[in-house]
A and B are shown apart, each in its own frame.
Chain A
Amino acid sequence: MGQTISEKILSTHAGHDVKAGELAIVNIDGVMASDTTAPLTLKAFKEMGGTTPWNSDNTIFVIDHASPAPNEHIANLHKFIREFANKTNSILYDEGSGICHQIMVEEQHVKPGQLVIGADSHTVTYGALGAFSTGVGSTDLAAIMITGKTWIKVPESIKIILNGKPNPGITAKDIILDIVGKLGSNGATYKTLEYVGSTLEFLSLGDRMTIANMSVEMGGKAGIFETTGLELPYKFESVIGDADAEYLETITIDVSVIRPKIAKPHSLENICDIDEVLGIKIDIAFIGTCTNGRLEDLQLAASILKGEKLAPGVRMLITPASRNVLNKAMADGTMNILSEAGATLIPPGCGPCVGTHLGVPGNEEVILSTANRNFPGRMGNPNSQIYLASPAVVAASALTGVITDPISIGKNE
């Protein structure tokens, strides 16, 4: 019997063949914690008797969730992380570097076939590279920093076959919202989603990251792409599941019929075609996060807003996913276009996504966001309404002031 991608990667890291359902102790290639989770991780690490991480070169801290620090309290937590990283020679990406998941991929801290664990649920993003990556809590991460290992139940896998070419105006975000809509918030709990199919040839690394990222929105332990068609700046061995591997379920999606998708407040259970919500007035348009804050997302927004102004009464927030993204967006004029249109630039990082500092909405305000979550209070105010969409839909709607199909305004390239 062949192996799924998950079984292959976990077997390599367990040192013997494992199959779905078995418990295994696995060797970890790298760990990551953000400023939300690192302080508790370091506290647990010290309580466990830890002094230096088992592998400082692969222990990565990123100050991104509330960065730069909004108050003295958080500033001191940042200082605590900084001091630990310096003392132990662990790797630190300080404020302004960007979102942890973007950095892990950009800086090549994760590669195809690896097993990487992060103290953040969207660690699943690295499945875009054909890596097995998943989120844990702080204490679990501390235990890896001590032992270099963790225990894992080898997940069953659901095969998602993506077929066909997306229509103009349709992005990776619409594809993943379509999948989340079909599987539901609980549809992949404890399982891996393995993405394959002819659509992969149209999906860039960034597109794959957008899709892998939201695998956790279905409860997925991981969301892994076959590496078919993936281009990376270094050599790697391809990662592909065996043809005779056992999948719990196979779901085929015809990408060519997908319409722009929207997740309505306050749950990923409320996904609909844009047609159902066209014309809803928005107050804030937000482009950023580990789902959609990459250069191609900003460029897509700029292609729609070029030479235009935001609709009266609409504010627009832009948070580049990393300093690297920001630098490129400044160099190629993207940032200029967005700023001239009236957008507000927020430093690279998580920004308004998680409600810890900048861009908190007011009561009853409607936000159209490229993020991955629209839970009540997610952006810091439970009385606001968060709709999720692609960067194309967010930019088109910022231009008109109401939820708008980018195709309808003739600016979809």
Chain B
Amino acid sequence: MVGKVHLYNIDNIDTDRIIPGKYTKTLDVSTFADHCLEDLDSDFKTKVQQGDILVGGWNFGCGSSREQAPIALKVSGISVVIARSFSRIFYRNAINIGLPILEIPEHDISDRIRLEIELESGKVADGDIIYSATPLPQVMIDILNEGGLVAYLKKFGKYKI
């Protein structure tokens, strides 16, 4: 897949900044798109387009366990999140809702460029430069392949590692 980058090369982007707590109290998840990242970049919602890629710094998604954070990014149109590292709950949540994430500790990706991503292998091409993401454990690959944990459990009925 190919997508345009929105770079926020900031460490510790917390879930409160991804979707503030005051907007999380709803089951109508499409409303999150209106407020996603608004305290970090009030223009985000007008800039983002379906299929875009979000690139963050270290410890992306730290803070609360709210699954609304990866959902907010997904409903905003983000197709992949790349960060130097992720907080563990965000990491699990993103996979569980079927939002692919790639951990690339060292990179020099710039804003607004186009990246080519091969999810299976975790390879990210920035022109001639190829980055390799930290591999996911197999159980997470299986969940992602099913499109998320709901579909995975419906299919298998239990976890397999």
Contact = CB atoms under 8 A, between A and B. Distances in A.
Contacts, number: 141
B22 A356 contact: yes
Contacts of B153: 48, 143, 146-147
Contacts of B159: 25, 143, 147, 149-151
Interface in B10-39: 11-12, 14, 16-17, 20-22, 24-27, 39
Contacts of B27: 39-40, 43, 77
A189 interface: yes
Nearest to B161: A23
B31 to A, nearest CB: 10
Nearest to B160: A25
B12 A267 contact: yes
Contacts of B161: 23-25, 151
Contacts of B67: 37, 40, 137-139
A183 B100 CA distance: 29
Nearest to B40: A376
Contacts of B25: 35-36, 39, 65-66, 73-74, 77, 356
A26 to B, nearest CB: 10
A376 B150 CA distance: 32
Nearest to B70: A137
A377 interface: yes
Nearest to A360: B22
A137 B39 CA distance: 22
Q: Which of the listed residues B11, B12, B89, B161 has the most CB atoms from chain A within 10 Å of its own CB?
A: B89
A150 B149 CA distance: 12
B101 interface: no
Interface stretch (B46-54, B55-63, B106-114, B118-126): B55-63
Nearest to B20: A377
B89 A149 contact: no
A42 B72 CA distance: 18
A221 B92 CA distance: 12
A197 interface: no
Nearest to B97: A139
A164 interface: no
Contact of A377 (B39, B62, B88): B39
B62 to A, nearest CB: 6
Interface in A370-413: 373, 375-378, 380, 382
B103 to A, nearest CB: 11
Contacts of A120: 64-65
Interface in B59-85: 59, 62-68, 85
Interface of A: 23-25, 35-37, 39-40, 43-44, 47-49, 65-66, 73-74, 77, 118-121, 123, 135-140, 142-143, 146-147, 149-151, 153, 185-186, 189-190, 219, 221, 267, 269, 354-356, 373, 375-378, 380, 382
5 contacts: A25-B159, A137-B67, A151-B159, A186-B11, A355-B21
